[in-house]
Amino acid sequence: MSALVKVGDVWKSFDQGRVEVLRGVGLNVAEGEIIALCGTSGCGKSTLLNCISGLEEVDSGDVSVSGYDVVNESTRVDLLRHHIGYIFQFHHLMQDLTLAENCYVPVIAVGGSKRDARERMEELAASTGISHRLNQRVRELSGGERQRGALVRSLMNDPKLLLCDEPTGALDEENREKVFDLLLDLVRKRGRTLILATHDPELASRCDRTLRMRDGRIERELVGK
Ligand SMILES: Nc1ncnc2c1ncn2[C@@H]1O[C@H](COP(=O)(O)OP(=O)(O)OP(=O)(O)O)[C@@H](O)[C@H]1O
Ligand SMILES: [Mg+2]
């Protein structure tokens, strides 16, 4: 299988180089793979996900997703809009919009049709058990409902790559399991690629591979189940 994500010798620091976070990270992720990204708090997992998506610029090194050069600014926006779904730790849904309105945002950003989007949203909402909450404002939803909503939104443009940053971190054990099951199910059924930053060894063990970050690099590979 060809690599969908290629990261080669990526360096990234903050505060004019005073905080060195990524120090020569390299990894390849094949299309359809489900990867857990582990490591202690502050080791650079979110920074790496941000560099892969192009939300954060690298200091040096190469990043490509689906053949697009992420380091190149002119292709980055296109890539992010069309091919990458992102689920953040605290969902980042707009509180005063309904869940449905939130789901239309990424579709409108790529000039998609609202009619097709509605069909897709209803299908995804049904499979995540959130249909009855679509017309509710996000501020009125529970944490688990918001995370399921964020999952629906992240898949609206059917991205090739889904990046998830502790997507279930704020949930209790029961909801964590439920949301993660849905996530894996949706990704596997569509043959999509997932990189999941997580502290939870239980969730990591259900991925195809675990990559552990340490000292700004990928330390070693642990084989999942
Ligand atoms: N914009 C920024 N400016 C300065 N320092 C930053 C910035 N973003 C991240 N850092 C620093 O980079 C390091 C790595 O942060 P990052 O958020 O990538 O860690 P993480 O592995 O995701 O941690 P956690 O498991 O707690 O989410 C931390 O020391 C953090 O303080
Ligand atoms: Mg983080």
Range with lowest mean pLDDT among 36-45, 95-104, 164-173, 210-219? 164-173
Mean pLDDT of 150-168: 91
For residue range 38-80, what is the model confidence (pLDDT) as tens digits? 999 999 999 999 999 998 999 999 999 999 999 888 888 888 8
| Domain count of the fold of the chain | 1
What is the amino acid identity at position 75? Answer: T
- pLDDT score at 220: 64
- pLDDT score at 221: 61
Minimal-distance CA residue to ligand 1 atom 3: 14
- Residues 207-224 as b/e (b if ≥16 CB within 10 A, e otherwise) read bbbbbbbeebbbeeeeee
Domain harbouring 170, CATH code: 3.40.50.300
Q: Which domain holds residue 53?
A: 3-223
pLDDT class of 225 with cuts at 50, 70, 90: very low
Closest ligand 1 atom to residue 49 Cα is 18
Range with lowest mean pLDDT among 48-62, 169-183, 195-209? 169-183
- pLDDT score at 171: 77
Mean pLDDT of 141-158: 91
Residue (of 58, 51, 7, 67) closest to 165 by Cα position: 51
Q: Report CA(88)–ligand 2 centroid distance (Å).
A: 9
Tokens of 59: 């200091």
Q: Report CA(19)–ligand 1 centroid distance (Å).
A: 9
Q: Report CA(165)–ligand 1 centroid distance (Å).
A: 12
* Integer Cα distance of 225 and 222 in angstroms: 10
* Integer Cα distance of 45 and 223 in angstroms: 19
